[in-house]
Amino acid sequence: MVTDILRLCGFGLSAVTLCVIVRQLKPESAVIVNIAAGLMILISAVKLLSPSVKAVGELAENAGISGSFAEILLKALAISYITALSSDCAKDAGETALGTKLEFAGRAAIAALSLPVFTQLAEIITKMING
């Protein structure tokens, strides 16, 4: 695990160095390098998270928590990571307004994804109040 993250950080720092050099020579190409490196890092991070995702699923199952709740939690986490990466890429490319809109879209997606949880929570509270 530690060697994986060290390798990933080394790749990231190499990509940063490459972006700085490319930006000086051909600024429009630096965005492509940035996005490509970001996608490679994202894919590697997902691979690192795979055992954790399985563990969360097993813990939820053992605790008697609905699998759909764990699934929603993991999807929300994925949305937040993907949105942050996309937003940062847009901001790095000088498109700050677009990056901000991506962040808003990510929040909206998480809110929509969470609706079933809030619905069930409201049902539970209603049952408790009504006896």
SS3 95: coil
How buried is 42 (Cβ within 10 angstroms: 0-12 exposed, 13-18 middle, 19+ buried)?
A: middle
pLDDT in tens, the chain (131 residues): 788 889 989 999 999 999 999 999 998 898 889 889 988 988 888 888 888 878 877 877 777 776 778 788 888 988 998 899 889 888 887 889 999 999 999 999 999 999 988 888 888 888 888 87
The pTM for the full model equals: 0.67
- CA count, 13 A, side-chain hemisphere, 50: 7
Cβ(83)–Cβ(105) under 8 Å?
yes
Q: Looking up tokens 């998480």, which residue turns up?
A: 110
**Contacts for 66 with CB less than 8 Å, ≥ 6 apart:** 60
Domain boundaries, given as residue ranges, for the chain:
1-51, 66-131
